[in-house]
């Protein structure tokens, strides 16, 4: 049984949603740049994402690359940047001395907290055009769409 094509109005609605999501994505990227400035510069979102993952438990760089969905080469650059800033450190893996693990430092934990606080304030300011109930509804809708997207991507 073939599915019926959506009416033109539904297709236009989907196109409008796509355009608004892209515009909001640009807003999020601008917020990320603003957050970096608030943090004193230099702690871009990809560093924060890596620190949050490393903060859960020490991890090998290859596994970190998988978790972040980036190439091993890209994660090497990120880890190098974190180590240079004093936010992470490399150590020999106690289970395999040939391998390294990356762990977060106290400065790294503080940087994650600072970035989270800055992000929360800036996003709250941008969402101030919505009532509290509208914010909750937006969150519920985004979670549903993202959950379905994760199922599609895996």
Question: Per residue, what are the HEC states of 65-88?
Answer: HHHHCCCHHHHHHHHHHHHHHCCE
Compute CA distances 25 → 20, 28, 102, whole Å.
8, 5, 31
Handedness of CA 5, 152, 133, 15 (dihedral sign): negative
Tens of pLDDT, residue by residue over 25-36, are 898 888 777 776
Please say if the pLDDT value at position 55 is more than 70. yes
Q: Tell me the per-residue pLDDT of 111-122, one tens digit each, with 9 for 90 and over.
A: 988 888 888 888
Separation CA 53–CA 34 (nearest Å): 22
What is the distance between the alpha carbons of residues 109 and 105, in angstroms, rounded to a whole number? 6
Give the pTM: 0.71
Strand (E) or helix (H) holding 91: strand 88-93
More confident residue, 151 or 130: 130
Q: 5 to each of 2, 8, 52, 54, 95, how far by Cα in Å?
A: 9, 9, 43, 46, 56
- Residue found by looking up tokens 């300011």 in the block: 125
Q: What are φ and ψ of residue 88, in 5° steps?
A: -145, 165
Domains of the chain with CATH codes:
24-153 (1.10.10.10)
More confident residue, 145 or 1: 145
């Amino acid at each position: 049984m073939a599915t019926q094509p959506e009416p033109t109005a539904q297709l236009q609605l989907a196109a409008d949603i796509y355009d608004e999501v892209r515009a909001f994505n640009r807003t999020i990227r601008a917020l990320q740049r603003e957050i970096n400035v608030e943090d004193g510069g230099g702690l871009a979102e990809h560093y924060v994402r890596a620190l949050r993952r490393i903060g859960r438990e020490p991890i090998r760089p290859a596994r970190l690359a998988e978790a972040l969905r980036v190439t091993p080469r890209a994660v090497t650059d990120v880890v190098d940047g974190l180590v240079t800033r004093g936010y992470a450190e490399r150590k020999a893996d106690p289970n395999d001395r040939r391998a390294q693990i990356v762990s977060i430092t106290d400065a790294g934990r503080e940087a994650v907290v600072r970035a989270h606080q800055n992000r929360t304030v800036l996003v709250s300011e941008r969402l101030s055009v919505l009532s509290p109930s509208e914010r909750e509804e937006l969150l519920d809708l985004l979670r549903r769409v993202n959950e379905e997207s994760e199922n599609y991507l895996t």
